């Protein structure tokens, strides 16, 4: 049983780190405060060829697995950009998975190449205000017309909608009550996000402000047949394919974020003198930090195991969900402890840990909440009745 990173993984880590290290605290805190998308970072990662890490090689990607993407994203969030930096890239890695697997050759060429080059930016329109986590209750409706569909509905939390020119959009094409199963009757599109026709309204939020999130209003918007992914009515099943990679990547991004916060806390503990000694000399400061390391490390390897299973084509739902849960918790605890270790300075923006702390709670909520993960494990692993 191999549980080490390979030399290839280390090369990915080192290559990504070289780019990540060019973007310092000042860059990220300015982008956070001014709510500006980090175009320069996005371009640097595209130029380095990293945006296509999981995309097919014949389209210009690297054709690597989720394990390699996890190594990359862990390195990204361990740097100064935390979760802002991950969210700049995240959708490229798992979002277009449905296009990779179910798109036709013309769609792959047209949709994926510009994503890999970084010339297109896509957002993900799944969540709706009235459906919440109950995705089968979405009501955004695509009505078939000549040559395409006319779509009306409302999405919420569409991240990076302000800077994206494309949207992966989940719609209903048959009302839920007319379907044999609630998961039937949904159709997936990857199409233009034409902001002269679709209103994308920024939502003021707690953190991760370099990457916007939005309420998206779609009113009688025409989408051509050519932009429908796969068959009509199967959209939900296509989206399911990307769920485990998404859980794995969000989990590992959380671990990187927590590690970044822990590194800052340890550094401060070794430099700050109170009562004539470094605060890090006190076990009351050391032990919680050591505990954070322990949780982060165990989350890391749970997630890497999930990635390894996924890449070998084995079932990994329980591990991917558990990894996302552990990563989110471990990151939140580490970021909270990093603020506490800095004392009053933890509350100032100067030491950055408050920024990471605000990001860390998001990883417990999105893209899937802790309750839903636990319900999944209770049902699928422990054989308890489905509770939702
Ligand atoms: C910053 C941010 C960015 C996001 N970006 C995107 C994006 O780009 N695209 C996109 O589509 N979505 C996005 N989301 C949406 C995100 O995936 C959802 O917010 C998340 O899935 C939770 O859904 P909800 O907010 O509707 O919670 P709700 O469904 O309203 O649930 C509220 C609470 O009740 C709990 N709950 C509900 N039902 C049960 C039950 N049966 N048992 C136990 N607990 C239950 C939930 O776990 C949760 O804690 C984003 C969200 C945020 C905050």
pLDDT at 96 over 90: no
Q: Each residue of 189-224: pLDDT tens digit?
A: 999 999 999 999 999 999 999 999 999 999 999 999
Identify whether the C-beta of residue 317 lies closer than 8 Å to the C-beta of residue 378.
no
> For the purposes of burial, counting CB atoms within 10 Å of the CB of 176, is it exposed (0-12), middle (13-18) or buried (19 or more)?
middle
pLDDT at 231 over 80: yes
Query: Rounded to an integer, what distance in angstroms lies between the CA atom of residue 30 and that of residue 13?
Result: 26
pLDDT at 94 over 80: no
Q: Is 129 in the pocket of ligand 1 (CB under 6 A)?
A: no
Other residues' Cβ atoms within 10 Å of the Cβ of residue 283: 9
pLDDT at 331 over 90: yes
Q: Which atom in ligand 1 lies closest to the alpha carbon of residue 127?
A: 11
Q: Is 133 in the pocket of ligand 1 (CB under 6 A)?
A: yes
Query: Rounded to an integer, what distance in angstroms lies between the CA atom of residue 303 and that of residue 300?
Result: 5
pLDDT at 86 over 90: yes
Q: Is 157 in the pocket of ligand 1 (CB under 6 A)?
A: yes
Taking all residues of the chain, what is their mean pLDDT, rounded to a whole number?
A: 97
Q: Is 143 in the pocket of ligand 1 (CB under 6 A)?
A: no
Q: What confidence tier does 90 reach under pLDDT thresholds 50, 70, 90? A: confident
Q: Each residue of 137-159: pLDDT tens digit?
A: 999 999 999 999 999 999 999 99
pLDDT value of position 241: 87
Among 220, 218, 138, smallest CA distance to 171 is for: 138
Q: What is the average pLDDT across 106-113? A: 96
Q: What confidence tier does 226 reach under pLDDT thresholds 50, 70, 90? A: very high
pLDDT value of position 2: 74
Q: Determine which residue's CA is closest to atom 40 belonging to ligand 1.
A: 388
pLDDT value of position 92: 80
Give the predicted TM-score (pTM) of the model.
0.97
pLDDT at 1 over 80: no
Determine the straight-line distance between the first and last CA of the chain, rounded to whole angstroms: 37
pLDDT value of position 97: 86
């Amino acid at each position: 049983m191999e549980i080490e990173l390979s030399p290839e993984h280390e090369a990915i880590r080192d290559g990504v780190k070289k780019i990540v290290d060019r973007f310092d605290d000042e860059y990220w805190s300015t982008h956070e405060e001014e709510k500006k998308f980090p175009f320069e970072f996005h371009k640097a990662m595209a130029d380095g060829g990293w945006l296509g890490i999981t995309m097919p090689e014949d389209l210009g990607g690297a054709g690597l697995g989720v394990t390699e993407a996890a190594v990359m994203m862990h390195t990204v969030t361990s740097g100064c950009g935390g979760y802002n930096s991950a969210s700049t890239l995240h959708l490229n890695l798992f979002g277009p998975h449905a296009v990779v697997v179910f798109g036709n050759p013309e769609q792959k060429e047209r949709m994926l190449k510009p994503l890999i080059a970084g010339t297109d930016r896509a957002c993900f329109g799944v969540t709706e205000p009235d459906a919440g986590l109950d995705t089968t209750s979405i009501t955004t409706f695509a009505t078939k017309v000549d040559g395409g569909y006319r779509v009306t509905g409302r999405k919420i939390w569409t991240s990076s909608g302000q800077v994206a020119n494309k949207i992966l959009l989940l719609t209903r094409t048959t009302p839920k009550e007319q379907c044999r199963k609630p998961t039937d009757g949904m159709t997936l599109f990857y199409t233009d996000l034409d902001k002269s026709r679709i209103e994308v309204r920024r939502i003021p939020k707690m953190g991760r402000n370099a990457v916007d999130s939005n309420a998206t209003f779609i009113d009688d918007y025409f989408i051509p047949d050519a932009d429908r992914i796969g068959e009509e009515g199967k959209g939900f099943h296509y989206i399911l394919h990307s769920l485990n990679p998404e859980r794995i990547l969000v989990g590992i991004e959380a671990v990187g974020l927590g590690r970044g916060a822990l590194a800052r806390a340890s550094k401060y503990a070794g430099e700050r003198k109170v009562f004539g000694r470094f605060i890090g000399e006190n076990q009351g400061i050391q032990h919680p930090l050591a505990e954070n390391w322990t949780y982060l490390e165990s989350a890391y390897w749970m997630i890497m195991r999930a990635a390894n299973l996924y890449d070998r084509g084995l079932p990994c739902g329980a591990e991917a969900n558990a990894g996302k849960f552990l990563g989110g918790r471990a990151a939140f605890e580490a970021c909270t402890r990093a603020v506490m270790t800095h004392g009053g300075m933890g509350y100032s923006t100067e030491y950055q840990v408050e920024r990471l702390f605000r990001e860390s709670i998001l990883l417990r909520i999105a893209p899937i909440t802790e309750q839903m993960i636990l319900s999944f494990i209770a049902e699928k692993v422990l054989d308890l009745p489905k509770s939702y």
